[in-house]
């Protein structure tokens, strides 16, 4: 059953849009600890390693993917990236992944898709405890308790994770990944008031501490300074549900979440101290009503109000609060024309106080040729409003070249102030182009075919295309006299991502399941494509340094995207409780940076190398209450310090779980 795709429960075979479901069995047997670990093994999902572990879906970067926890959005992004390593999978029941524009149901940030992490809910009767030890002194412990007391359900989960960190550079003072510890606690309570009324609330708290160090050069000597980074997050989710009758159900949800981050680093005798603080508060109230006018149709209606507040010393000062308010309405109607054809139409209207109002429609249908073969098609409009960073950021990094980044709302005033103080060398042509940022919009098309036979072969093919307009990019608006560059944000680019995704799954006898997946991805800046066709783009040869016109076949597309990626996975399950898995993932080369001065990815030395990663695990159930598992991630020991600093090489572990 999948909830995220339509906001109402649907089986996988009755969905008209591309959906990936990761169940609890797969989560456990993979040996993964954090959400980014398990997502990195899925077809067409790429983990990026910049400002934390981000996700790339259908060629769209992290800032275009909405991440939900039990249906509620997580906040606290850095550079547009929500760090997925913040999320433990110890108490996750399943992960639902919706690919393609979902703004018609979920609004901004769902332009590329939605990931919904669904935790173990109240209403069960169990007590689980687990402990794991792995390389680099990593320890992970968890406990999950759930009980049903008459009409009240209680669920409590707690997780602690730590690591001594590691260095991919021998004898380096500053580690590639610094020592850290993370703790997460969650409480859910549900109470059945009567046959028609149900109420409940959830409370979650997450805490992270990271040791920091940095080495800088000052007057010919190396100075090492220490510091720390702290992140705190809380979520409160009350709800009340009223079942009018068999045809009408209504739910009122509240949601309050806060994210607080601080980083301190004393760079002695060099550039002074570094003290970064960020605080974000997000509050939402939402009403959703599901109506079944007939057996063949379902109508979903909803409305909500969001209030958001951010303060940071990167936004002028901590005393300056930035606020925004969004009111929204959404509606979706699903109609089964007959046993073969189902049509779904939906639309959402967002009245954003800080930006223009946006209407996001979506249309999809499914045609069942027979019991096993389905054809799906969907088209949706997505949008992403400019965030606080792109509007109000006022940040100068003294320890990394003294560059500055200004949001569009403060850039002009800051440039004028620095010019009056004789701090600027010159402004660029882009400075005159500063204007009010428009929301990014996209049109996403998905065409798919599914063959689902529970006992034999399962196959699906999905073709997709996303056209983006008003894409927000950064560019240099001025140069300082000390050599530092000043950046700001612009609506400039038209971009596209398109490709094909194939997934296969075959059950051999009762014990062995083999899965395979592949994605072909093409990305491009449309303005660049037009310029190449007009013969206006040039490149410099890597070997002889000669300049020539660039052809379309030499254009590498948008950076950090792999054109080819795939996986093959083996799962063996014995009736006596033994299991073994082997998962091989391939990621093709991807563009990193421009080296010949044309601002594009086109030469072989501008790409990171493709690579294979093999993860293996095996486990056995001892008696009825104890499970033992061991595994090795990255068996082939692939490392890339420059492009994959978050990959430490081969990592072994042993995991013990108690089920009381």
pLDDT, tens digit, 9 for 90 and up, residues 330-344: 999 999 999 899 999
What CA–CA distances, in Å, run from 14 to 125, 448, 578? Answer: 31, 13, 33
- Is residue 242's pLDDT more than 90? yes
Asked if 642 contacts 122 with a C-beta cutoff of 8 angstroms, the reply is: no
Over 80: is that where the pLDDT of 517 sits? yes
Q: What is the mean pLDDT of residues 183-209?
A: 94
Contact 539, 548 (CB under 8 A): yes
CA distance 474 to 488: 6
Model confidence at 268: pLDDT above 70: no
pLDDT value of residue 30: 93
| DSSP-derived secondary structure letter, 40 | T
For residues 591-607, one letter each, b for 16 or more C-beta atoms within 10 angstroms of the residue's C-beta and e for the rest, the string is bbeeebebebbbbeebb
Give the pLDDT score at 149. Answer: 87
Query: What's the rounded Cα separation, in Å, for the pair 632 and 619?
Result: 12
Collapsed DSSP state (helix, strand, coil) of residue 411 = helix
- Residue 274 pLDDT level (bands cut at 50, 70, 90): low
Query: What would the mean pLDDT of 144-170 be, rounded to a whole number?
Result: 90
Element (H, E) at 197: strand 197-218
DSSP label at 644?
Answer: B
pLDDT of residue 312: 83
Neighbours of 153 (CB within 10 A): 20
Comparison of pLDDT for 492 and 208, the residue scoring more:
208
Percent of the chain with pLDDT over 70: 95
pLDDT given for residue 169 in this prediction: 78
Q: What would the two tokens of residue 124 be?
A: 């069960």
- Kindly state the average pLDDT of the residues 273-283: 84
Residue pair 505/513 in contact (Cβ under 8 Å)? The answer is: yes
pLDDT at res. 626: 93
Judge whether residue 212 has pLDDT over 90. no
Residues whose CB falls within 8 Å of the CB of residue 456, separated by 6 or more in sequence, listed in order: 506, 507
How far apart CA 609 and CA 170 sit, in angstroms, is 22
**CB crowding 498-518: b at 16 or more within 10 Å, else e:** bbebbbbbebeeeeebebbbb
pTM over 0.85: yes
pLDDT score of 319 more than 90: no
What pLDDT is attached to residue 220?
Answer: 56
Q: What is the mean pLDDT of residues 303-318?
A: 83
Q: What is the CA radius of gyration of the chain?
A: 26
**Cα separation values, 77 from 50, 233, 532, 617, Å:** 12, 12, 35, 32
Other CB atoms closer than 10 Å to residue 79's CB: what's the count? Answer: 12
Q: What pLDDT score does 270 carry? A: 44
Average pLDDT of the chain to the nearest whole number? 89
Looking at residue 473, its pLDDT comes to 84
Which pairing describes strands 403-406 and 485-508: parallel, antiparallel, or unpaired? parallel
467 CB-near residues (< 8 Å, 6+ apart):
442, 443, 444, 494, 495, 496
Structure tokens at 274: 């570094």
Beta strands in 371-484 (DSSP E): 373-384, 394-397, 403-406, 424-427, 440-452, 457-480
Instruction: For residue 562, give the DSSP letter.
Output: B
pLDDT at position 271? 46
Partners of 207 in the β-ladder: 183, 232
Q: What is residue 12's predicted lDDT score, i.e. its pLDDT?
A: 73
- Look at 538 and 16; give whichever has higher pLDDT: 538
- The Cβ of residue 53 has, within 10 Å, a number of other Cβ atoms equal to 23
- Sorted by where each begins, the domain ranges of the chain are 12-140+152-659
Per-residue tokens: 113: 């898709």
Check: CB of residue 154 under 8 Å from CB of residue 146: yes
Confidence band of 398 (pLDDT split at 50, 70, 90): low
The pair phi, psi for residue 71, each rounded to 5°, is 85, 0
Which pLDDT value is given to residue 37?
Answer: 94
**pLDDT per residue as tens digits for the range 411-440:** 999 999 999 989 998 998 889 889 888 888
Whose tokens are 């096993």? That residue is: 372
DSSP letter for 84, please: G
Judged by DSSP in three states, 418 sits in: helix
Instruction: Supply the pLDDT for residue 580.
Output: 96
Closest CA to 57 of 104, 4, 100: 100
CB 211 within 8 A of CB 165: yes
Tell me how far apart the alpha carbons of residues 601 and 113 are, in angstroms, rounded to a whole number. 26
Give the sheet arrangement for strand 113-119, strand by strand.
Answer: 19-23, 92-99, 113-119, 65-69, 72-73
**H/E element, 103:** helix 103-106
The structure tokens listed for 132 are: 């794991």
Over range 17-38, report the average pLDDT. Answer: 92
CATH number belonging to domain 12-140+152-659: 2.40.170.20
Query: Over the stretch 72-107, which tens digit does the pLDDT of each residue have?
Result: 999 988 878 899 999 999 889 999 999 988 988 998
pLDDT above 90 covers a percentage of the chain that reads: 59
pLDDT tens-place string over residues 437-490: 888 899 999 999 999 886 778 999 999 999 999 988 888 899 998 878 899 998
What pLDDT does residue 446 have? 96
Query: Closest by alpha carbon to 36, among 92, 75, 79, 76?
Result: 92
Overall average pLDDT of the 566-572 stretch: 96
Render the burial of 462-479: b for 16+ CB within 10 Å, e for the rest: bbbbbebbbbbeeeebbe
Query: What's the pLDDT score for residue 343?
Result: 94
Q: Which two tokens stand for residue 193?
A: 């008031």
């Amino acid at each position: 059953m999948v909830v995220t795709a339509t906001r109402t429960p649907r089986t996988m075979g009755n969905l008209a849009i591309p959906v990936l479901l990761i169940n609890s069995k797969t989560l456990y047997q993979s040996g993964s600890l954090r959400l980014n670990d398990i997502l990195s093994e899925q077809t067409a999902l790429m983990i990026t390693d910049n400002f934390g572990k981000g996700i790339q879906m259908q060629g769209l970067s992290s800032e275009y993917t909405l991440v939900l926890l039990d249906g509620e959005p997580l906040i606290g992004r850095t550079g547009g990236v929500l760090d997925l390593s913040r999320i433990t999978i110890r108490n996750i029941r399943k992960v639902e992944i919706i690919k393609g524009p979902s703004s018609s149901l979920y609004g901004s940030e769902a332009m590329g898709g939605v990931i919904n992490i669904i935790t173990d809910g109240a209403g069960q009767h169990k007590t689980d405890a687990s402990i794991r030890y792995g390389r680099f002194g990593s320890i992970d412990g968890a406990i999950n308790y759930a009980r049903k007391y008459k009409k009240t359900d209680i669920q409590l989960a707690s997780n602690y994770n730590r690591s001594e960190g590691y260095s991919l550079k021998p004898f380096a003072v500053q580690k590639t990944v610094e020592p850290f510890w993370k703790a997460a606690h969650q409480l859910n309570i549900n109470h059945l008031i009567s046959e028609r009324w149900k109420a409940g609330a959830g409370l979650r708290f997450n805490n992270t501490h990271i040791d920091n160090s940095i080495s800088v050069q000052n007057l010919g000597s190396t100075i090492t300074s220490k510091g720390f980074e702290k992140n705190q997050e809380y979520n409160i989710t009350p709800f009340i549900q009223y079942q009018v009758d068999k045809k009408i159900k209504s739910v009122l949800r509240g949601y309050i979440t806060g994210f607080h981050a601080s980083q301190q680093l004393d760079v002695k005798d060099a550039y002074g101290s570094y003290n970064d603080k960020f605080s974000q508060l997000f509050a939402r109230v939402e009403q959703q009503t599901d109506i079944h006018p007939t057996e063949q149709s379902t109508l979903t209606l909803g409305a909500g109000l969001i209030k958001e507040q951010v303060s940071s010393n990167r936004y002028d000062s901590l005393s300056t609060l930035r606020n925004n308010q969004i009111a929204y309405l959404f509606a979706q109607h699903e109609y089964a024309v007959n046993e073969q054809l189902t049509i779904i139409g939906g639309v959402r209207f967002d009245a954003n106080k800080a930006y223009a109002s946006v209407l996001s429609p979506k249309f999809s249908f499914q045609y069942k040729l027979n019991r096993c073969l389905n054809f799906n098609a969907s088209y949706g409009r997505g949008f992403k409003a400019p965030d606080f960073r792109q509007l109000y950021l006022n940040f100068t990094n003294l320890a990394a070249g003294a560059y500055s980044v200004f949001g569009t709302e403060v850039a002009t005033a800051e440039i004028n102030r620095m010019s009056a103080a004789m701090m600027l060398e010159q402004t660029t042509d882009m400075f005159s182009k500063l204007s009010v940022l428009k929301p990014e919009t996209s049109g996403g098309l998905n065409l798919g075919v599914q063959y689902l036979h529970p006992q034999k072969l399962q196959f699906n093919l999905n073709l997709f295309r996303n056209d983006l307009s008003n894409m927000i990019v950064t560019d240099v608006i001025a140069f300082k006299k000390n050599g530092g560059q000043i950046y700001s944000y612009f609506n400039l680019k038209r971009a596209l991502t398109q490709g094909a995704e194939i997934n296969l799954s075959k059950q051999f006898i009762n014990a062995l399941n083999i899965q395979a997946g592949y994605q072909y991805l093409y990305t491009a800046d449309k303005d660049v494509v037009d310029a190449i066709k007009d013969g206006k783009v040039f490149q410099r040869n890597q070997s002889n340094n000669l300049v020539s016109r660039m052809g379309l076949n030499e254009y590498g597309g948008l950076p950090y995207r792999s054109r080819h990626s795939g996986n093959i996975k083996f799962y063996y399950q014995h009736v006596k409780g033994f299991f073994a898995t082997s998962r091989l993932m391939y990621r093709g080369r991807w563009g990193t940076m421009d080296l010949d001065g044309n601002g594009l990815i086109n030469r072989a030395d501008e790409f990171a190398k493709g690579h294979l990663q093999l993860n293996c695990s095996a486990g056995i159930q001892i008696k009825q209450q104890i499970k033992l598992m061991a595994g090795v991630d990255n068996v082939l020991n692939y490392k890339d310090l420059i492009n994959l600093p978050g990959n430490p090489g081969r990592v072994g572990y042993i995991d013990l779980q108690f089920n009381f």
